[in-house]
Amino acid sequence: MRIGELADRAGTTTRTLRYYESRGLLPARRGGNGYRTYDEADLRALRQIRTLQDFGFDLEETRPFVECLRAGHPEGDSCPASLAVYRSKLSELDALIDELTAVRAKVGAQLERAEQAVVALAAQEPAPRCELGPRQEEE
């Protein structure tokens, strides 16, 4: 298949495919007419890349998965290098979760402090009178 068809089937653009080619993730095969040619294995590799990127993997992190597919494995994550990337990504995600949990605790503590301050202030002072509302006429 040609580049436009591959882009359509993969849900991406020809520009993206050329970029992947320049990064060595997509083979640069050319037909006798000079056009780029691709096969189902290329489509499978692109789908693997897209799935991993949807999970937050950067493009370089997808390389071991693509290489695993190209080595003939039916799944791109059945090679030792792919498993190492999974482990690394999980470690990175765990660190982010820990960081977000700590930030959440701080924000929760600030909210609790602010709510207590509002309650304490309301107990000390009468509610302000709105001067802009409708006036009641005096008798």
**Does residue 106 form part of some domain?**
yes
Domain assignment present for 133: no
How many C-alpha atoms does 88 have within 13 Å on its Cβ side?
12
**Sign, Cα dihedral of 49, 52, 54, 58:** negative
What's the mean pLDDT when you consider all of the chain? 91
pLDDT at 129 over 80: no
Domain annotation covers residue 31: yes
* CATH at 43: 1.10.1660.10
How high is the pLDDT of residue 70? Answer: 93
- Is 135 within the bounds of a domain? no
**Of 121 and 10, more confident:** 10
Q: Number of structural domains, the chain? A: 1
Domain range enclosing 96: 3-124
- Nearest 10 degrees: Cα torsion 82, 87, 89, 95: -170
Predicted pLDDT at 19: 96
In a domain, 132, yes or no: no
- Determine, yes or no, domain membership for 103: yes
Does 64 fall in a domain? yes
- What pLDDT digit, counting tens, does each position of 49-104 carry? 999 999 999 999 999 999 999 999 999 999 999 999 999 999 999 999 999 999 99
Residue 95 belongs to some domain of the structure: yes
